[in-house]
Structure 1
Amino acid sequence: LFMYIQQIKEIKVMLLGQRTVWASEDGWLVFDLTTASNLWLVKPEQNLGLHLLVEDSHGSRSPELSGLVTGSGPRNKQPFLVVFFKANEVRLRSIRSAHGQKRRHSKHSKPQRTSQDVMKAEGCNRRELYVSFKDLGWQDWIIAPEGYSAYYCEGECAFPLNSYMNATNHAIVQTLVHFINPDLVPKPCCAPTQLHGISVLYFDDSSNVILKKYRNMVVRACGCH
């Protein structure tokens, strides 16, 4: 089941985000609409609304048939939009945008990283980590492998939590509470959300050769908890 959220712009649409979900999933679906909200702020006349499209292997389906809560659903489960603006940052963003148009004609101009790129790089993500059993002093009893890519989770779980952060519903609420009152609760933590195992060939205490699969050794995905 694929879900797209798009900004309507005349006949064309601009893709703002997409999610792949299972039919058995339950909870909130979070989309990052920063790109659209920034555009609407600078050019209000281009605010032509949002369009939600749901697709499965048989094609498009209505949100209601896909299990999504719409306007006729329970009040406490209605979709909502969280928007946060700072006046001084908005002015700076508009000024930089104007200067950026002039710099495009310069031969020495370099592509700049967008704020969304920076947020994704600094946000909760999986990082590289290779573990060498020799460095741990385990080479005398582990036959193979010599090491493995374990990875680890690191990054900010700051407001707003973007869709790629795999945030739980609790983390979303905790982030909002922290934003309102930072002294009350801390930010959510970046932690593994999916792990898988590796097979290890080793000597036991009786010098027998054993092949065993150890669970939860490799980080497959990270999220805010």
Structure 2
Amino acid sequence: MQSSPWKVRCATLCFTLLSITGVKLRPVGEEEKMIQLEAVKKSILDRLGLHKPPVITEKIDKDEMLKMFWLYQEKLLELQGNISKEETPERRVHILTPKLERSMKKCDIHGSHSHRYNLIFSRTHTINQQLSVMRAELKLCKDVLHALRSAAANSTSMAMVNIYKVTESSHANGEQNHKLLDSKPIDKDIMTLNVDTAVKQWLASSEKCLRLELVIVLDKPFMSSSKQMGADDALVLEVETQEQAHSKTRRTRSLSTDEDCKKSEKKCCRKSLLVSFEQIGWSDWIVHPSSYEMRFCDGSCPHNYKPASMHAQIKYRMHHINGDTPAPCCVPGSYDPMVLMHYNSERKLVFTVFEDMIVRKCHCA
């Protein structure tokens, strides 16, 4: 189907008018970039207490400029030293759910019945050997404990929950070794079992999986469905970690690339926009740096993805349950400072430190 002569003439006329008036046809995304640049310019001026860029008619001489550059470098070194002193190793809470298997092993002693469950935890991309374990707890949910207390009603002995670490025996018979990690009675709405030792050994090793055995001791049979014990929140391993001191330097070096958005990335990540002070017409009053990389956080925050805190994980669960609570948002987690050497409103060359101008990392909060 051919276009009518009228449509062709109309299109030609529109293009001619745009050319005469100087309006440029920008590709998709260019308009968004212009909006971002305007936001940057306005924010810098506001921070400096300026309504518009100062007009510089006379600049300082070369000797004075050289002296200012030395002072500028000293200021940068001072800031870098402060960051090294003040920066504490990052802490993070990891939530792991096990692959659960009902054990057929029988171990009934003095009329008690033991119900055994094999728990297999696998490493995630955030669990590695560079982490120190600050706390590791296995948590049983309220529904499971309620069922256990019901089964233990009118019992003649105390119902107990034991957690063991399972390792393969060095003997040829293929038996497994069991080391008791914690043992608690079933008498509360919430139960946490301490598994610090096992998790510390696991993270320090190259083992892909952590194997534990949960043993419930009752004086009568306990009928629990595999669906009830195998629910996502029935058994949860909560591990709080902290980066080891020697890994901080390596992390800082790789952080700039690790945080950047990959191609077609939709989850929370860091995006960048190079701002050239020369291109925006500010090179006459901003002496150094000549440009800076504006970074901002963008993307979705699915469950347990870059959580800023335990609060962020709870916030996601509440949002998922009723929708009234806002979902976690992708926001900056830390910043690098930037020192601006510029002329002020009195046309004097000064330094201004922007503590929160360059985004280092993003997380969900």
TM-score, with length taken from structure 1: 0.51
CA distance, structure 1, for counterparts of residue 318 and residue 135 of structure 2: 28
CA distance, structure 2, for counterparts of residue 190 and residue 131 of structure 1: 22
What does residue 94 of structure 2 align with? Answer: 29
Match of 2:277 among 133, 136, 140: 133
Match of 1:50 among 105, 121, 138: 121
User: Which protein has greater RCO, CA pairs closer than 8 Å, 6+ apart?
Assistant: 2
Match of 2:312 among 168, 171, 186: 171
- Structure 1: gaps (5+ residues): 1-21, 41-46, 85-117
Q: Is the 8 A contact 2:308 2:333 kept in 1?
A: no
Deviation at 1:175, TM superposition (A): 0.6
What does residue 350 of structure 2 align with? Answer: 210
What does residue 304 of structure 2 align with? Answer: 161
SS in structure 2 of the partner of residue 150 of structure 1: strand
SS in structure 1 of the partner of residue 93 of structure 2: coil
> Aligned runs of 1:41-190 on 2, under 5 Å?
49-50=120-121, 66-69=134-137, 72=182, 75=190, 83=232, 121-134=265-278, 138-158=282-302, 160-162=303-305, 165-182=306-323, 184-190=324-330
Aligned amino acid, residue 277 of structure 2: F
CA distance, structure 2, for counterparts of residue 130 and residue 143 of structure 1: 17
Report the aligned-residue RMSD: 4.1
CA distance, structure 2, for counterparts of residue 67 and residue 221 of structure 1: 24
CA distance, structure 2, for counterparts of residue 139 and residue 219 of structure 1: 23
What does residue 25 of structure 2 align with? Answer: none
CA distance, structure 2, for counterparts of residue 156 and residue 170 of structure 1: 17
CA distance, structure 1, for counterparts of residue 276 and residue 358 of structure 2: 14
Deviations along 1:15-54, one digit per CA (max 9) or x if unpaired, are: xxxxxxx7894x63245x7xx97xx9xxxxxx97126798
Deviation at 1:134, TM superposition (A): 4.4
CA distance, structure 1, for counterparts of residue 300 and residue 352 of structure 2: 36
Deviation at 1:142, TM superposition (A): 1.1
CA distance, structure 2, for counterparts of residue 220 and residue 29 of structure 1: 22
- Structure 2: gaps (5+ residues): 1-87, 102-117, 139-162, 164-181, 195-229, 234-261
SS in structure 1 of the partner of residue 94 of structure 2: coil
| Higher-Rg member (1/2) | 2
SS in structure 2 of the partner of residue 185 of structure 1: coil
Q: Is the 8 A contact 1:154 1:191 kept in 2?
A: yes
The number of residues matched between the two structures is 147
Q: Is the 8 A contact 1:139 1:146 kept in 2?
A: yes
Name the structure where helix makes up a greater proportion of residues. 2
Worse-superposed segment, 187-196 or 133-142: 133-142
Change (3 A) 1:77 1:223: farther
CA distance, structure 2, for counterparts of residue 187 and residue 168 of structure 1: 14
Q: Is the 8 A contact 1:130 1:149 kept in 2?
A: yes
Q: Is the 8 A contact 1:161 1:167 kept in 2?
A: no
CA distance, structure 1, for counterparts of residue 344 and residue 354 of structure 2: 15
Change (3 A) 1:180 1:211: same
% of aligned pairs identical?
23
